[in-house]
Amino acid sequence: MNAPSTGMDIKAGAERSALTLYGEALSSRMLIGTAQYPSPQVLAEAVEASGAGIVTVSLRREQARGRTGERFLQLIADLGVRVLPNTAGCHTVKEAITTAHMARELFDTPWLKLEVIANDDTLQPDVFGLVEAASALCADGFNVLPYTTEDLSVADRLLAAGCRVLMPWGAPIGTGRGLANPYALRSMRAYFPDVPLIIDAGIGAPSHAAQAMEMGFDGVLLNTAIAKAADPVRMARAFAQAIEAGRSAYEAGLMGVRDMAQPSTPVVGTPFFDLRKDGA
């Protein structure tokens, strides 16, 4: 029996199809969140199994943890992967900008996952505040990865503000519903062929991640589907394999969809076809 794939195996495969964000080549097309894991050890093992090159950390959440937060941040540092601070929980432009500056000082990085939340029930982005905050932060030297919707006009404004990556949601955060609006997401992919697009939020199963990659998206960010699994480490590995498979399928060229059946083996001219034709 073959041994299960390891994080190193996933990284080796991902290197064949590297993702580049803000001029930096990453080891994986998978980004992983760090919240809700049953223990720090499980988190560390899940990140290793995933092969992810980026982990996200909510600064506001870790501030609330106090001394426990300090130990958590040390754990994150020990993972040896890029940290992407997150302004999760911010509802105003001022909150997001203040949190971003604190994160840059604490983590010594200009990279930022920008969230400005409009609604507590859906956790939908406040697209107006998002564009305003992105404009200010990009002008201040941040490498902004905005959590946004699939709206093309919002995407245009974020790119004009200076963002070089977009992170449209698949579905509301934590719902696990997958790609709720695949038509709009395909349109977004086609409309911005040269912009790195990473599906963020709503992914609940490896098949959802594979679907996003088959559609040509450049990466997937997820958290709850791994952290809340019965076996987070095994689930992290499953997602990594799905993302790699989906990307490979996209690059190989998926067959087109047809309205009518078409046999894979021609029957015209074969003896069996002739016998049926003659009524024998």
Domain boundaries of the chain, sorted by first residue: 30-252
Q: 30-252 adopts what CATH topology?
A: TIM Barrel (3.20.20)
The pLDDT confidence band at residue 267, using thresholds 50, 70 and 90, is low
Out of 11, 113, 228, 277, the active site residue is 113
Query: Is the Cβ–Cβ distance between 87 and 100 less than 8 Å?
Result: yes
Which of 16-20, 149-153, 191-195, 258-262 has the lowest average pLDDT? 16-20
Can 94 be counted among the known catalytic residues?
no
Q: Is 33 annotated as a binding residue?
A: no
Mean predicted lDDT score pLDDT of the chain: 87
- What pLDDT is attached to residue 199? 97
Question: Does 201 belong to an annotated binding site?
Answer: yes
174 has binding-site annotation: yes
Question: Mean pLDDT, to the nearest integer, of 38-44?
Answer: 92
More reliable by pLDDT, 5 or 20: 20
pLDDT at 20 over 70: yes
pLDDT at 278 over 70: no
What is the per-residue pLDDT for 206? 97
Q: What is the biggest distance separating any 2 CA atoms in the chain, rounded to whole angstroms?
A: 85
CA dihedral 222, 224, 225, 231 (to 10 degrees): 120
pTM of the model as a whole: 0.84
**Residue showing tokens 């002008």:** 139
